[in-house]
Amino acid sequence: MELPQIGKNCQLDGCNSLDFLPVACPLCHQTFCGDHRLPSNHKCSHWNQVTKDLVQCDDCQQLIQAPKDAKLGLEQALEQHKQSKCHLYLYPPSNTIKKIDRQCTVKGCRDIDPRIGPVHCNGCDQDFCLKHRHPASHSCQSLDTDEQRKMERKLAAQEKVAKTFTSQPTKKRKVITSVPVRSKNGGMVELMKIKSQAKGSPSVPAASRIYIYVQGPKESKVDSQSVYFDKKNSVGKALDLIADICKVNNKNNTLPPSDPERLELYKCPDMTILDKSEPLEKALKNLDTVLLERQGAVSMEEVDDLAEE
């Protein structure tokens, strides 16, 4: 509980409720809750003895006592009390309230309520008013200790997680070296030779054909082949046809772009990845060599080294 020393139980038989702002009866000096604070509400034993000297205000429900030196009657005192907005002639007088010696530890603050008293902070062992009772409001030294403990718990948790979930050594990817280019001079003799050997769809017009060499991936048992495609087709369509020729499982349409199982076409010898949306006539020319391989099997660092060479 934040304010363990504040509040008392009502001493009226049958009530005993805890009140954080208990009221002490000025007549019998017992403590009561707000509902039973008035002598008439708790059947005060001394009430009959002072009924002639005190009257209860209908507005503020406080007891009023006529000053003896002013020679005012109770009715006149009650009327002046109401005219003063319920400040005059209160019983007991406000100057009889016991003053509290302890002050708020915050420099310059004197806001401790004399009816409630100070609030003790267990973090720094000091007393404060209600306004400065929270550790953050009086820069409690316990805050630094709490932060240090949080940091220690965080480091301990990280260390435990590191021991529990040890990182597995990364597997080295298989490096695919550049496929040697089969066409050396790209002359007419070489072109005539590949035309006589290349495989492709007979429905492709001869004028629209582009003749290239294809190297299958490591997982394929199909060796290098000479093929032809319609040069108006995209690189992506050619990739699908080459995957069928090499009998390779092609799931590019269901895999995300960064998945290592995606198939790519690499132009040799620089091993650049061909844009699948580009038409073949712009990406390649007759007698070029391409490699079909999964992108997870190709080391880009190795490709960069090959390109520099």
* DSSP secondary structure, 179-234, as one string: PPPS-SS--HHHHHHHHHH-B--TTS-GGGEEEEEEE--TT-----EEEEEETTSB
Whether the CB-CB separation of 30 and 11 falls below 8 Å is answered with: yes
pLDDT confidence tier of residue 307, bands split at 50, 70 and 90 = very low
Fold type of domain 1-50: Zf-an1 domain (4.10.1110)
- Pick from 188, 223, 191, 224: nearest CA to 210: 191
For residue range 9-68, what is the model confidence (pLDDT) as tens digits?
888 888 888 877 777 787 788 888 878 877 778 888 777 666 567 777 777 767 777 777
The SS3 of residue 309 is coil
Residue 225 has pLDDT above 60, yes or no: yes
Lowest-confidence segment of 39-43, 154-158, 188-192, 238-242 by average pLDDT: 39-43
Most confidently predicted of 3-7, 24-28, 128-132: 128-132
pLDDT at 166 over 70: no
pLDDT at 305: 46
Rounded to an integer, the average pLDDT of 194-211 is 92
What per-residue confidence (pLDDT) applies to 182? Answer: 54
> What residue spans in the chain does CATH classification 3.10.20.270 cover?
187-294
For 174-190, the DSSP string reads: PPPPPPPPS-SS--HHH
Residues of the chain with CATH 4.10.1110.10: 1-50
pLDDT in tens, 138-159: 888 888 777 788 888 888 888 8
Confidence of residue 243 (pLDDT cuts 50, 70, 90): very high
CATH class of the 187-294 domain in this structure: alpha beta
Q: Chain-centre distance of CA 48, in angstroms?
A: 66
d(Cα 128, Cα 140) in Å, to the nearest integer?
Answer: 11
Mean pLDDT of the region 251-268:
90
Q: What is the pLDDT of residue 219?
A: 86
| Tokens matching residue 140 | 């409690």
What is the rounded average pLDDT of the residues 198-206?
Answer: 93
Structure confidence at residue 176 (pLDDT): 46
Q: Kindly indicate the confidence band of residue 222, based on its pLDDT and cuts at 50, 70 and 90.
A: confident
Tell me if 39 sits within 8 A of 56, measured CB to CB: no
CA 290 to chain centre: 48
What φ, ψ does residue 15 adopt, rounded to 5°? -105, -75
Q: What is the pLDDT of residue 175?
A: 44
- Which pLDDT belongs to residue 30? 85
SS3 per residue for 270-306: CCEECCCCCEHHHHCCCCCEEEEEEHHHCCHHHHHHH
How many alpha carbons lie under 13 Å from residue 176 in its C-beta half-sphere?
Answer: 26
The answer to whether 237 touches 287, Cβ cutoff 8 Å, is no
| Whether residue 269 has a cis bond before it, omega within 30° of 0 | yes
Q: What is the pLDDT of residue 283?
A: 93
Q: What is the pLDDT of residue 223?
A: 76
**pLDDT on residue 241:** 93
For residue 174, the model assigns a pLDDT of 42
The pTM of this model reads 0.41
Average pLDDT over residues 146-173: 74
Query: How many Cα atoms sit within 13 Å of 70 on the Cβ side?
Result: 11
Q: How many residues does the chain have?
A: 309
* DSSP bridge partners of 293: 264
Q: What's the whole-number mean pLDDT along residues 228-246?
A: 93
Task: Render pLDDT for 273-303 as a digit per residue (tens, 0 to 9).
Answer: 999 999 999 999 999 999 999 988 876 544 4
Q: What is the pLDDT of residues 57-114, one digit of tens each?
A: 777 767 777 777 767 777 888 888 888 877 787 776 655 555 555 678 888 887 776 6
Angstrom distance (rounded) from CA 12 to CA 18 = 11
Tokens found for residue 9: 């139980």
Helix (H, G, I), strand (E, B) or coil at 8: strand
Name the pLDDT band for 6 (thresholds 50, 70, 90).
Answer: low
DSSP at 117: -
7 burial level (CB within 10 Å; 0-12, 13-18, 19+) = middle
